[in-house]
Structure 1
Amino acid sequence: MEIRNLKPEDFDDMIQLGEYAFQYCMSAEAKENARNRFKSENTWGVFDEEGRLGAKLVLLPVDIFVYGKKMPMAGIGGVATWPEYRRQGLVKELLTHSLKVMNDSGKLLSMLHPFSFPFYRKFGWEMFGEYKKYIIPTDKLPAKQVTEGTVRRDVTDIRVLNQVYEAYAAGYNGMMVRSEERWKHSILDDEGHTAVYYSPAGEPEGYLLYKAEKKELLVEEFVWLNEESRRALWTFLSNHDSMVTQTVVAQMPANDGLTYSLADPRITQELVPYGMARIVNLEGFVQEFDFQGSDKQQSWTVQVKDPYAPWNEGIWQWTLSPAGKASVAPGAPNDKVQLETDIQTLTTMMLGYKRPIELYTMGKLNGEAEAVKRLEHAIPFGQTFLLDYF
């Protein structure tokens, strides 16, 4: 077996495998558009001795927000194997190889959408958040309110949408930085609508991506920067009351407080596990991370298990300055370990999905209680969220 980048001449084989594995059929136009956007350096495959493609995956190099800071990430998508090659360890080899590629190229994190959470946990990825989905009968929508500013429908200026999106995304851990290409080819489509809220000063401060069909409003993205924009956009949706019987809001942050503001909060809401993440380079990530400051320098001796990214495995000395900046150095075998965990737990803790004390109580983070408490104060509180799929 050989692992290598797919070449342009492998494109049709890649599409054929994707169509078979994910059970869809790509139109000739869509296939040609995909061919024009194909990037060999981001696509990897496993080939047998006769040069036939057995399995493949795609890396999506983007930045994500972590406590307001942009960090380099590689998303993994399109993982597929022909049935005759399954259960031969091909995906394991691809993932292991991809981790090395990501590390060598300076990526600090990786994310993916799993077909199976247990499968990817084996390789160091971990669930890092959920989203809320609402189904709201029209008579239970938020009350219409008079607001300052204006809502404009079908705004297509990507710069306007992205300006609002980035201001919103910076407040959540895990949100992707979107390129113009991603907006054009993965976010916006000809069947949907947009609605943008502009403040009285003319600044865009919120938007909706939605569709109206079969007596239903489907809101794919509801992004708001302040209470005024939130109220204005809900009023805009409520003004569809003569057209629809219900509104479905597909994805909202897990901590969204809509039901508290409703006259009748008994609506259908679902909490959906969404996405997995893993630290690719522990040393680089921790040193880029913005901790909470304190009145003195702190340190931890941390032992981490990560067999599929061996550059992360072992004992590490973390030293945190009063300003909240960390330095990380390899520890010695005879160092007294204060905390012990694996890369999955470390990822979910650093991204803010689970707190150190909670993980300690669950037995996922082991060691000295005092060291756990200090880490609890050092890691900021944050909310995870991800709107994108890849």
Structure 2
Amino acid sequence: MTVIKLAKEYYREAIKLSEYAFQYKVPEESIEKRLQMIEKHHEVYGILEGDELAAKLHLLPLEVYLGETKLKMGGIAGVATYPEYRRSGYVKEMLTYLLDTMKKEGYSVSMLHPFSVPFYRKYGWELFSSKLKASLKSEDLIMKKQTAGKIKRYKKETHSTEIEEMYAQFAKQFSGMLVRETSWWQESVYDELTAAVYYNEAGEPKGYMLYEVKNSKMKIEEFIPLNPEARNGLWNFICQHDSMIKELEIITYENDPLLFSLNEPRIKAEITPYFMVRIIDAESFLKSYDFLWTDNEDQLLLNLSDPHASWNNGTYLIKNQEVSKLSIKETETLSGKGLSLNINTLSTALFGYKCPLDLHQITHIEGSAEDVQKLQMLIPNRQAYFYDFF
């Protein structure tokens, strides 16, 4: 079986395979738009049986924030195989091929939304972001201290780049948030949502939320305050809908302080693991990572295993504010020393989703407690989060 990058003439077949596998139908009048979107934003890889498409996946060349740093990220979506070809290793072949392709093309990480977490864990992807869905009733809508600013609403047609700038500022506080171009906002964020922007007394935009109100329910897809005033101002705007809605649903990150600040914080809150990440090139990732370096001369060894990306296998030395990959000869003299972990564990730890101390407790990291503490102290205290979907 051979994986190929599909030419444009196969894109319609790729859509048909997605329709079959994911059980939906693209309206005929939307086919052309979908084809243009694939041509513009996707690379499609697949396996043919004769002239027929048997399996395919889509690679989306994107970027994500790791704090202030932007990383080249390969988003994987639309992984599908016709049932007569399933359990024949087609997806494994495509994923392995794509890992090699992303390495050659300089991708730092890859992300995906899993149909099955155990399946993608086998190939090195690991959970890095959860979503919190908070459900409130109209009686929970108690206003906070009045703010001096004002709210202005926008739709997709009147979108303001001020919203993009606020999102970027907010995203840099986290690990993993997508770098959004204007076209992404228009094609993948808004849909039928409304943006409400909070402006302070000086007329400066300091926060926004994306929401819809339908059937007496308000659903907030993004809640992005840049300071406490904006948080209160946006919340008070929500409360002004108390005569229109019976329910409120907010999608946010696990430690959003808004929920603690509610008059009655004992609300229904559901946390669901959401997206997965995988480091593609461990050596370049580690060398560019913003470790919290100290002046001490301690060293740390990481013995990394990656069955599906052999270039990552090896021992990495963290010393004197530098990271280097040791030669096989150097590694042999250090056998049994340092921490042992796989690419999954390294990915979730460096994105801040699970800390080394917890990963050590469940034996995902093996080694001395002292070395685990060293690794813990090197990783920035930065929450992982991902709002988008592909």
Which residue number in structure 2 is paired with residue 344 of structure 1? 344
Indicate the larger mover: 23-32 or 229-238.
Answer: 23-32
Structure 2 letter corresponding to 1:278 = R
TM-superposed CA distance for 1:243, in Å, is 0.6
Tell me the alpha carbon deviations over residues 325-375 of structure 1, each in whole angstroms, 9 at most, x when there is no partner. Answer: 534444534132311111111111111111112212221111132222211
Q: Secondary structure at the match of 1:367?
A: coil
After TM superposition, the structure 1 = structure 2 runs for residues 291-302 of structure 1, keeping only pairs within 5 Å, are 291-302=291-302
Which residue number in structure 1 is paired with residue 72 of structure 2? 72
Q: Secondary structure at the match of 1:311?
A: helix
Structure 2 letter corresponding to 1:206 = G
Question: Contact 1:60–1:76 (CA<8 Å) still a contact in 2?
Answer: yes
Residues 292, 85 of structure 1: alpha-carbon distance in 2 compared, 3 angstrom cutoff: same
Residues 266, 316 of structure 1: alpha-carbon distance in 2 compared, 3 angstrom cutoff: closer
Query: How far apart in 2 are the matches of 1:174 and 1:141?
Result: 31
Which residue number in structure 1 is paired with residue 385 of structure 2? 385
After TM superposition, the structure 1 = structure 2 runs for residues 185-200 of structure 1, keeping only pairs within 5 Å, are 185-189=187-191, 191-200=192-201
The answer as to 2:204 corresponding to 1:203 is yes
Question: Contact 2:212–2:220 (CA<8 Å) still a contact in 1?
Answer: yes
Question: Contact 2:314–2:325 (CA<8 Å) still a contact in 1?
Answer: no
The answer as to 2:184 corresponding to 1:182 is yes
Tell me the alpha carbon deviations over residues 293-335 of structure 1, each in whole angstroms, 9 at most, x when there is no partner. Answer: 21134422221110100000122223342xxx53444453413
Which residue number in structure 1 is paired with residue 332 of structure 2? 334
Query: How far apart in 2 are the matches of 1:44 and 1:389?
Result: 20
Q: Secondary structure at the match of 1:64?
A: strand
Query: How far apart in 1 are the matches of 2:37 and 2:304?
Result: 39
Which residue number in structure 2 is paired with residue 53 of structure 1? 53
Indicate the larger mover: 327-336 or 260-269.
Answer: 327-336
Structure 2 letter corresponding to 1:349 = A
Residues 29, 182 of structure 1: alpha-carbon distance in 2 compared, 3 angstrom cutoff: farther
TM-superposed CA distance for 1:72, in Å, is 1.2
Which residue number in structure 2 is paired with residue 132 of structure 1? 132
Q: Secondary structure at the match of 1:296?
A: coil
Query: How far apart in 2 are the matches of 1:356 and 1:264?
Result: 34
Residues 178, 238 of structure 1: alpha-carbon distance in 2 compared, 3 angstrom cutoff: same
Q: Secondary structure at the match of 2:76?
A: strand
The answer as to 2:19 corresponding to 1:44 is no
Question: Contact 2:154–2:160 (CA<8 Å) still a contact in 1?
Answer: no
Which residue number in structure 2 is paired with residue 244 of structure 1? 245
Question: Contact 2:300–2:374 (CA<8 Å) still a contact in 1?
Answer: no
TM-superposed CA distance for 1:3, in Å, is 1.0
Q: Secondary structure at the match of 1:133?
A: strand
Residues 160, 86 of structure 1: alpha-carbon distance in 2 compared, 3 angstrom cutoff: same
Indicate the larger mover: 358-367 or 152-161.
Answer: 152-161
Structure 2 letter corresponding to 1:168 = F
Query: How far apart in 1 are the matches of 2:266 and 2:63?
Result: 38
Query: How far apart in 1 are the matches of 2:240 and 2:144?
Result: 8
Query: How far apart in 2 are the matches of 1:174 and 1:320?
Result: 27
Tell me the alpha carbon deviations over residues 193-228 of structure 1, each in whole angstroms, 9 at most, x when there is no partner. Answer: 111111222221111111111010111111111111
Query: How far apart in 1 are the matches of 2:187 and 2:281?
Result: 30
Which residue number in structure 2 is paired with residue 228 of structure 1? 229
Indicate the larger mover: 37-46 or 124-133.
Answer: 37-46
After TM superposition, the structure 1 = structure 2 runs for residues 1-390 of structure 1, keeping only pairs within 5 Å, are 1-39=1-39, 42-48=43-49, 50-154=50-154, 156-189=158-191, 191-249=192-250, 251-321=251-321, 325-331=322-328, 332-336=330-334, 337-390=337-390
TM-superposed CA distance for 1:22, in Å, is 1.1
Structure 1 letter corresponding to 2:323 = A
Structure 2 letter corresponding to 1:44 = Y
Alignment gaps of 5+ in structure 1: none
